[in-house]
Structure 1
């Protein structure tokens, strides 16, 4: 069963949604049959950070509110994150354009390390105050999850996965994704937002029951006298 998730590295509810989905998946009896695929989605593809500007100031500018109001928004999200064991620190976060970070996630997928790369980047941004828009920071973070530092640097400099990021974003537009996180189950059912783990659990069960693989017929390794509807051999 495939679950595809559109999200951004610097989307606070994307990290919260990741945890809530993971909590549901952890208790799902068929979790080993679930393939999770992350898709790129930039909340602000054209964002250019201003040196020295805090996340509170950047948010205030974007929303047209005061810095204090922006801090209150951050406090609300910080409380929601704490409920799933994530300790956000908006005073340390560094505003960044995530185009390079998404390319690193695609490189991670190429080496079977997509989820680990996604997790490392989100933790670096929200919990550690690292700059996920900086090339050398991304090289370091990618190496921490087992990727080759030289390959990371060369791939990001050359934009090897730039088109993969753009394709993800184009495909998100085609299915009318307007906000993230956005979860698609088996190309048929969708869940938008950081929903409760209980809801994710219900959807996993429903989708699995509907799309569960047919039990394969046993391989015949010996054939001998037997009885059937028409009688016995």
Structure 2
């Protein structure tokens, strides 16, 4: 049997206060799990903050302001909740918070172990989206991190390292040049797609990446949060 030793890389930019990012994450994971060559795919978790230097506030208030009206905010929340339910995710907008997620991204950057990092990312979404936990103070973040198996050493490194903050800023600069919203996916630095696409669309992109299929540079854009902070 002919083997393909090449490694393929998928870079994913997202923010833990982006309502669409958790849905997109779950749909991409479903596609990757069904992809026959998943062992040849490495996923890079990239950082982007929708609300740099923004004080924490209730998510509902932030959506009303960003979308311009309470009705628009309610319609969006209902749509996100429906998308979430179809992926087994529970969105509790009444307790969700919005703000600058710098420390959450830095904490993820501090973890080297891939399985622990993935566990932490999932915990950040679940604890903030379903449980109403804050991502904006370090005591709360440490609780979430420890529940995901992050070591005390990694947590100390997160709070003491200036390099990790620079890595977050580097991620943000790189996606701002090409992306228009998060979540944003780049497949092997060859083509990109954004938003909460269907699992079938993600699977199609994985196949395109693996088999080198030619086609449009940019795939369809799905539901996303604008990189300028607008949904």
Same fold (TM over 0.5): yes
The number of aligned residues is: 205
What's the counterpart of residue 68 of structure 2?
A: 64
What's the counterpart of residue 125 of structure 2?
A: 122
After superposing on structure 2, the runs of 4+ consecutive aligned residues of structure 1 that deviate more than 6 Å are none
- Secondary structure class of the residue paired with 1:14: helix
Deviation at 1:155, TM superposition (A): 2.5
What's the counterpart of residue 205 of structure 1?
A: 207
Question: What are the Cα deviations for residues 110-151 of structure 1, in whole angstroms up to 9, with x where unaligned?
Answer: 233322221110111111110011101111111122222354
Alignment of 1:89 onto 2:96: no
TM-score, structure 1 length as denominator?
0.81
Tell me if structure 2 keeps the 8 A contact 1:139–1:153.
no
TM-score, structure 2 length as denominator?
0.82
- Secondary structure class of the residue paired with 2:136: coil
Tell me if structure 2 keeps the 8 A contact 1:135–1:153.
no
Tell me if structure 2 keeps the 8 A contact 1:125–1:131.
yes
Distance in 2 separating the partners of 1:20 and 1:197:
5
Name the Cα RMSD after superposition.
1.8
Deviation at 1:55, TM superposition (A): 1.8
Bigger Rg, structure 1 or 2: 1
Tell me if structure 2 keeps the 8 A contact 1:4–1:36.
yes
After TM superposition, the structure 1 = structure 2 runs for residues 131-210 of structure 1, keeping only pairs within 5 Å, are 131-149=134-152, 151-153=154-156, 155-156=158-159, 158-174=161-177, 176-210=178-212
What's the counterpart of residue 15 of structure 1?
A: 22
Runs (5+) with no aligned partner, structure 2: 1-7, 214-231
Distance in 2 separating the partners of 1:57 and 1:157:
33
Q: Which has the higher strand share?
A: 2
Runs (5+) with no aligned partner, structure 1: 212-233
